[in-house]
Chain A
Amino acid sequence: MNAIVFVVIGATAFSLGYFFYSRFLTEKVFKLDPDFVTPAHAQEDGVDYVPTRRIILWGHHFAAVAGAAPIVGPGIAVVWGWLPALLWVTFGTVFFAGVHDFGALWASVRNQGRSIGALTEDIVGKRARSIFMVVIFLLLLMVNAVFGIIIANEHIAVPGSVIPTWTVIIVAMAVGFLVYKKGMSLLWVTVIGVTVLYGAIWVGALVPLALPETMFGLGAPAQWVIILFVYAGIASVLPVWLLLQPRDYINGIQLFIGLALLYAAVIIAAPEVVAPAFNTSPPDNAPPLVPLLFVTIACGAISGFHGLVASGTTSKQLDKEPHARQVGYLGSVGEGTLALAAIIACTAGFASFAEWDGFYSQGFPASGLTAWAIGGANIMEEGLGLPANIAETLLAVMGILFAATTMDAGVRLQRYIIQEWGTIYNIPALTGRVVSTLVAVGTCLLLAFGAGGGGGGGLIIWPLFGTTNQLLGGLTLMVLTVFLIKLGRPTWVTVIPLTFLIAMTIPALIIQLADFYQGGNYLLVAMDLLILGASIMVALEAISAFGRARKERAAGGG
């Protein structure tokens, strides 16, 4: 089988999804109205609520939702073979993520641009809102810990990535400074910044750096995790304009460049897929495909995080309601495209089945980002003639920058939540910037080290992170369903994905619970139980909320 077939399958499925299914959603379910006054106009303030061109809005929505997860998830999940991963990414994007992202954006636009968290309380109730807050905190905690581990592992697997990864921080701060303090033209700043970034990738590939194998009794991964969290703590208190904004921007630009390069290479090189459709001999510790596949690939098939972005910033900037179709649905298609690229790199980028099997048979979960860098680099070398070491560094840095940008924002958000708790529960110490940042970073470090392996130990919590993300997606689908019931619209478009998600996440949690318990990892057992409790509450809440909404509708005039 040739990898071009994957590209054709993906392109066909995504096009059909966009042209037919999203049209059906637009006309029959969400009934988008070109005359509806969107919050960007109704509440225009030049700050949060600003009508924005749809291409720009799509661009930054896509850049905000695309992260390391749609690379790492498929990179791990191909261990079961390429077919299950390919099917879940294509079907998931078309029928799950598309509806979820598009729906979250629409629901928020129809409710004064309110966030999904606020809508949960308005539409479903207070109890659901409490579950929502707990799930978000757990998600942030896990995303920060897991991405810290991923970057640490990648710095060791591809030592060439060290120089460019840390150079980007200086480049970003220079961009922020030049744009805001010197008023320089962004176009030229961008050209120079991107040139420096790719120059640093070239230098990094030639000058790989590594930390000492042990220092103060800590292995190299653990040292990296600590360095990363010290950085993330400092970064999270720096002004937004100085680091977060320019970093996000450069990250968005390199996302488009990297994706274009990789797809061009795939089309020119047309590599053969060496992985089997179904892997008949996965590593002994690999959990069963069903249900674990559906939580290993969260971003790239459906991810609750997208609902936060769609209802957080995107909905406040939507110029016309029908744009929600392009921004929301095509945003998730963009993410599906990234996940598809990851599947291709991790199944067609290895020279032979033996080499592929040699990588994946080492144990579950394999380092998805490393597979992406190795496989993608081989394809880029063949297709574009880029030296393999430079291509490998480029792809590793692409994944790392996604993860690092998410971490920057994640630690900042966690600090806000902790400060808010400090205010609510009257603990003045927690409201300060320094203490709350220390608490945020401390809990992440605790989890990163508690996950085993001395801080760099594999990605054991990856499926748990995926499960939490799916759970958040389930909550958003629940809110959407209740909203659709109240409006008397068809609900199967959200009820089927919701039921499927709950049916997969609960057994996945139970299987992982047994694994953690047998492994003696009681921190993860406790987290798993917490998430399991939240999942069951979501399922019960959904049933009761749907019943209430139906009754209300029947009483109201149905």
Chain B
Amino acid sequence: MKFLSTVGELLREFYSAPFRGAVARAKRQEDDLFMLLVFSEMVGVPNPASYYTLELQPLLYEDFHEWHKRMGMDHSPLEWFSCC
């Protein structure tokens, strides 16, 4: 069993090592879109589902700073929430 798990681990590394960067970038793009959906009302884009996405906001605050920097906004675009 130990042998199998070692083989599995080596295969996983062989699978992921060449593409770590590409996959991480693809994931970030999806996350960015999701972030935009959740905070869309705050940046002036009407969102019919805002009643539901409002609930998600506290969960995403951790990544909020990174996101607005990446989106080319030096400071938080939200009047009532400043992270920097």
Binding site for B on A (CB under 8 A): 46-48, 50, 52-53, 55-57, 59-60, 64, 179, 185-187, 190, 239-241, 244-246, 248-249, 252, 313, 317
Contacts and interface: CB of A to CB of B under 8 A. Distances in A.
B11 interface: yes
Interface string B12-35: 111101111111111000000000
Nearest 8 A/B pairs, CB to CB = A187-B8, A48-B21, A240-B22, A47-B24, A245-B19, A56-B13, A60-B18, A249-B15
A59 B14 contact: yes
Given A47-B24, A240-B23, A240-B26, A186 B17 contact: no
A499 B19 CA distance: 36
A239 B26 CA distance: 7
Contact of B17 (A46, A56, A241): A56
A171 to B, nearest CB: 14
B26 A241 contact: yes
6 contacts: A46-B24, A52-B17, A57-B17, A240-B22, A241-B26, A245-B23
Interface of B: prevailing SS: helix
B45 interface: no
A249 B24 CA distance: 17
A131 B78 CA distance: 47
Contacts of B22: 240-241, 244-245
Contacts of B26: 239-241
Contacts, number: 61
Contacts of A64: 18
Interface of A: prevailing SS: helix
Given A48-B20, A52-B17, A60-B14, 15 more contacts: A47-B20, A47-B24, A60-B17, A179-B15, A186-B11, A186-B12, A190-B11, A239-B26, A240-B23, A241-B19, A241-B22, A245-B19, A245-B23, A246-B15, A317-B17
Contacts of A186: 8, 11-12, 15
B10 A56 contact: yes
Contacts of A317: 17
A47 B16 CA distance: 10
A50 B17 contact: yes
User: In this complex, which of B4, B12, B17, B18 has the most chain A Cβ atoms within 10 angstroms of its Cβ?
Assistant: B18
B70 to A, nearest CB: 14
B1 to A, nearest CB: 12
B21 A47 contact: yes
A239 B29 CA distance: 11
Contacts of A60: 14, 17-18
Given A47-B21, A245-B22, A53 B11 contact: no
Nearest to A412: B22
Contacts of A313: 18, 21
